[in-house]
Amino acid sequence: MKKEFENFDDAEAFVLQLYGEDKWAIAAMQLEDKYIIQWVERKTYTSHDGNVHPDEVWVTKDGDLLLIQDIEAEHARNIIRMMLRQERTMKEKLSSLMDSISGIGDYLTSSDENTDGDDSGPEENTPEVPPNTVFH
């Protein structure tokens, strides 16, 4: 079900009324100068361990609200593909980040190791200051 509202206060009052019944899955969005509220009655499903849970919802890229059990098989497969692709991409980004952090740690560790007993360093490039020089 879907309903449009012209102002936020009316939309909020409607959503709070739905929340009070505790049986609706609700999606709300703002489009320019109007608010769109969508809601569907939650169904339940029984998991493999015998527990009963309220069904999850999926919001399509067009903003439609669907219960998972009402999604067609091909759409469900595409959702799973997208989720797995996002998971793989996030793992690759995390791996790259960890490699960068490791590289920084290696650099810092090697910098510390190179300064032990090594007299060369910034002092080589420091200009010689004549004696009795006063700095202000």
In this structure, is residue 122 part of a structural domain?
A: no
pLDDT digits (tens, 9 = 90+) for 60-78: 888 788 898 889 999 999 9
pLDDT at residue 3 above 80?
A: yes
Q: Are 48 and 18 in contact (CB under 8 A)?
A: no
Say if 86 falls within a structural domain: no
pTM: 0.53
Cα-only R_g, the chain: 30
31 closest CA partner among 57, 2, 58: 2
Residue 96: inside a domain:
no
- Assess whether pLDDT exceeds 80 at residue 116: no
Domain contains 105: no
Q: What is the pLDDT of residue 86?
A: 96
| 32 part of a folded domain | yes
Strand positions, DSSP E, 33-128:
34-41, 44-46, 52-54, 57-59, 65-67
Q: Domain tally for the chain?
A: 1
61 found inside a domain: yes
- Which domain, by its residues, includes 18? 2-68
